Amino acid sequence: MNSDLKVTFLTREYPPYIYGGAGVHLDYLSRALHKLIEVEVRAFGDQQGLINGVRVKGYQPWPVLAQDSDPRYQKVLDPLSVNLAMVKDRFDAQLVHAHTWYTFMAGLLAKKLYSIPLVTTIHSMEPLRPWKEEQLGNGYMVSSWMEKSGLEYADKVVAVSAEMKQDILKYFDLEPERVEIIYNGIDLEQYRYTDSTCSLEQYGVDLKRPYVLFVGRISRQKGIIHLLNAIKDIEAEAQVVLCAGAPDTKEIAREMTEKVETIRQKRDGVIWIEQMLPREAVIELYSQAAVFVCPSLYEPFGIINLEAMACKTAVVASAVGGIKEVVVDGETGFLVQFEQHDHATAEPVDPAGFSRILAEKINTILGDQKLREKMANKGRERVERFFSWDSIAQQTLELYESLLV
């Protein structure tokens, strides 16, 4: 470890409170980087002490903000209060690294108050997530302002894919040399094929039938509604396992429930696991799936596809964002091309066509065991070659060092 260098991470998600790809990224990057330098994490939550050897402190929103507040606006006012709490505690790190708009104000203030370089990692972009207005109302304008301010004041911005870098340069006032591409990674020892089936049996998956797997939040961004619309065209023998929780809004939760109920009236084998499962259970689901499907409308990187590939599962995924840099079409799975409306909607121009092609690609893999096995092996090989966390930690350290010379 380089004892002369310390970084403070700022994040909304950190164990045990992880619900998306950004949290997975922080969990593994902090552990891998901790082997090289001192790492401190300040997170939303009640954590206190060491987690996997990394010192962590959690921060809570100010309770007064919940009084007589519009629930939509509270979703941005609470993060602002946490940002202030994070930055009031003195920084003794040589630099600060903020992740997602939720912590960009704390990063900006730390840079100003403590005269240290600011690195920001953007895991998704508010301009490309217009459905957030459904959740936040005018609070979406505030989250967008927080994101823009944190990025444009940063000394370096990390993009998790080459396509994301192009999007950053398009929507924000940044010189290309201030944006570095560092991919997400995967724990190759933890995410690997297992022949265990305990979780499958627990949730009612028939071990004698192949199944198609979705893992993710119930969100417009994740495209789950389009997958539900594709189920009628998926081979009847196949089960569909939806490991889907944490709905973004009451509206999409209700839409999801109604669609699943309607589908179940017409076919069996549709299994909805409505909570986010422990990592070991998810690895088991990946490993035994015939096909993993990622129908996202927007995905800066798509770490979920790496997880499936690492567990030797063929992937069918949308050809959007960083997914195109992870999944190799025809080799580790299939990419589904579709035309989108502009960023104001992000929905497919032809939603029925998108769902139909999803089903066609899924059926191609379901119907060809040799192809399925070939894609599964190629997927694991690709992950091992390009996406280890140790390599990503080393690239991140080199970025830090470039700011301190």
CATH number at residue 68: 3.40.50.2000
Does residue 154 sit in the same domain as residue 207?
A: no
User: How many domains would you assign to the chain?
Assistant: 2
Instruction: Give the residue ranges of DSSP H helices in 207-293.
Output: 224-230, 250-264, 279-288
Residues 6 and 88 in one domain: yes
CB 169 within 8 A of CB 179: yes
- What does the alpha-carbon distance between residue 310 and residue 388 come to, in Å, rounded to a whole number? 11
- Are residues 359 and 281 located together in one domain of the fold? yes
In the DSSP assignment, the letter for residue 91 is: P
- 381 in any annotated domain: yes
For residue 192, being part of any structural domain is answered with: no
Considering the domain architecture, whether residues 208 and 313 belong to the same structural domain is answered as: yes
Whether residue 39 is found in the same domain as residue 180: yes
Each residue's pLDDT, cut to its tens digit, for the chain (405 residues) gives 556 899 999 999 999 998 877 898 999 999 999 999 999 999 999 999 999 899 999 999 998 877 777 878 888 889 999 999 999 999 999 999 999 999 999 999 999 999 999 999 988 888 777 767 777 778 788 888 999 999 999 999 999 989 899 999 999 999 999 999 999 889 999 999 999 999 999 999 999 999 999 999 898 889 999 999 999 999 999 999 999 998 888 899 999 999 999 999 999 999 999 987 899 999 999 999 999 999 999 888 888 999 999 999 999 999 998 899 999 999 999 999 998 875 556 789 999 999 999 999 999 999 999 999 999 999 999 999 889 999 899 999 999 999 998
Determine, yes or no, domain membership for 193: no
Confidence at residue 166, expressed as pLDDT on a 0 to 100 scale? 93
Q: Which domain holds residue 148?
A: 2-185+388-404
- Indicate if 173 and 125 belong to the same structural domain: yes
Which residues fall within 8 angstroms of residue 357, CB to CB, at 6 or more apart? Answer: 336, 337, 338
Q: What is the DSSP letter of 10?
A: E
Output the CA torsion sign for 125, 129, 134, 137.
positive
Q: Are residues 281 and 350 in the same domain?
A: yes
178 and 55 together in one domain = yes
pLDDT of residue 2: 56
Question: For position 383, what pLDDT does the model report?
Answer: 94
**164 plus 205 within the same structural domain:** no
Structure tokens at 353: 């066509």
- For residue 247, give the 3-state DSSP assignment: coil
pTM: 0.77
CA dihedral sign, ordered 174, 178, 179, 184? negative
Asked, for residue 21, whether it belongs to a domain, the answer is yes
* Cβ-contact 82, 65 below 8 angstroms: no
> Count of CB atoms within 10 A of residue 135's CB?
20
191 part of a folded domain: no
Structural domain includes residue 190 = no
What are the residues whose beta carbons fall under 8 Å from the beta carbon of 78, sequence distance 6 or more? 61, 62, 65
Is residue 107 domain-shared with residue 237, that is, in the same domain?
no
On whether both 136 and 246 belong to a single domain, the answer is no
**Does residue 256 share a domain with residue 164?**
no
